Amino acid sequence: MSALLKSIDPNTGKEIATYEAYNEKKVESALKLAANTFEDWRKEPFTKRAALLRAIAKELRKEKDKLVKLAAKEMGKPIQQGYYEVEKCASTMEFYAKEGAKFLADQVIKTDARKSYVSFRPLGVVLAIMPWNFPFWQLFRAMAPTVMAGNTMILKHASNVSGCALAIEQVIRKAGAPKGLMQTLLIPSSVVEALIDDRRVAAVTLTGSTAAGSKVAEAAGRNLKKVVLELGGSDPYIILADADMDKAIEIAVRGRLVNTGQSCIAAKRFVVVKSVRKEFERRFTEQMKLATWGDPMDEKNKIGPMARHDLRDQLHVQVQQSIAKGAKLLCGGFIPDSPGAFYPPSVLTNVKKGMPAYDEELFGPVGAIIEAKDEADAMRIANDSIYGLGGGIISKNRARAEKLAAEELNAGSCFVNDFVHSDQRLPFGGVKHSGYGRELGSFGIHEFVNIKTVYIK
């Protein structure tokens, strides 16, 4: 009997739908189709690939109301943030439609040869393993450059957003994509290793936890296949003594509560220089208390439920363990008496090494305040993490902050006077336990191509 994949509404705790996992025959059929489609798609000119990407962008905007409501029901995304997510997917498709051919153009390099150049050719079928927190964006930001480069893709999405996964495939088909260009596989995680082992899968991209990334990297390494990993993060935001405090509070609250705090690049550790710690602590806590939370379909709510009850409960354990080790709770920190997977905006201070709030990723609306003696101590604390996805520096001295961001902060994305976010024009990814490889920008489109030397004497 096939496994069942369930979608649970985190706002009510009620089951939305149950999906039967694909059997071996159906998975085999999908792999065969993806491999066959690749042989035709890789030969299509850039103009045809770009036209499809634009058509997909148009279909995304056409279906946005349906998609946004689906994400709100399946993983609790506040509805206004859902609209932003779908639009970002559409604009990214258009970006690669416009820039892809330039990124992939042959690069002539003068050597002793009569002619020599670098050519970029697609690899084949790319397996995308995606999480629930941005059910559309995570897939489309990987798909846009991968398909524009001439590859095909199969998607193994998080089981709790199976409805979103099927909707993605439907959007792409409605846009006129060749059958087999992008297929959703409704399968449990236990099947992933066999997919990576399959000779028809040329490469893998995963966004998810560090634990999941480690397992996928092991399987890909055993098969000598290219893999891009975008994993967890515990992004530090460094509040220096000369910070514009109004700006610092605005950035901190927005950065911590985006997607109900369930983002790898959400602001998580607030490393505050001692001289301004009390002011930041007071004002940050005041604003966190004011953030409205509840039904994600209600536009007035900035925060919805967390995606699953077990994730909410795990976060609460991390908060309680941090308090038991000496952290001070300034607001929130309780499980509401309601059926949904809610957790209120929470603030911990006096956070120190050895506490979960310092050492681990808090994947929910909890901010951890860590006091630093001075600028040098703040940079030490910021880098004292197994993660290295993103980080921010808030300071009126932009030149000084830029130098710290560029030379001292050890992360894939370092922002000055803004919260960390992805931009299709810039590479995105991390270092250390936050993964390796890059998505987006010109770097993202070069991840899943054969960077081929052509030499003519």
The residue type at 393: I
- Residue 278: name the closest of 237, 320, 325, 330 by CA: 330
Lookup: tokens for 60: 């995304």
Non-local CB neighbours of 173 within 8 Å, separated by 6+ positions: 179
DSSP 3-state percent helix, strand, coil across the chain (nearest 5):
45, 20, 35
Non-local CB neighbours of 102 within 8 Å, separated by 6+ positions: none
- Residue 248: name the closest of 398, 416, 29 by CA: 416
The position carrying tokens 């009620």 is 14
- Residue 231: name the closest of 255, 215, 213 by CA: 213
Q: Cβ distance 437 to 228 under 8 Å?
A: yes
C-alpha R_g of the chain: 23
- Residue 198: name the closest of 220, 218, 230, 183 by CA: 220
Going by DSSP bridges, is the β-strand pair 366-372/346-349 parallel, antiparallel, or unpaired? parallel
Number of Cβ atoms within 10 Å of the Cβ of 342: 23
Residues with catalytic roles: 230, 264
In order of 106, 126, 307, 371, the CA distances from 121 in angstroms are: 10, 14, 39, 50
How far is Cα 182 from Cα 92, in angstroms, rounded to an integer?
A: 17
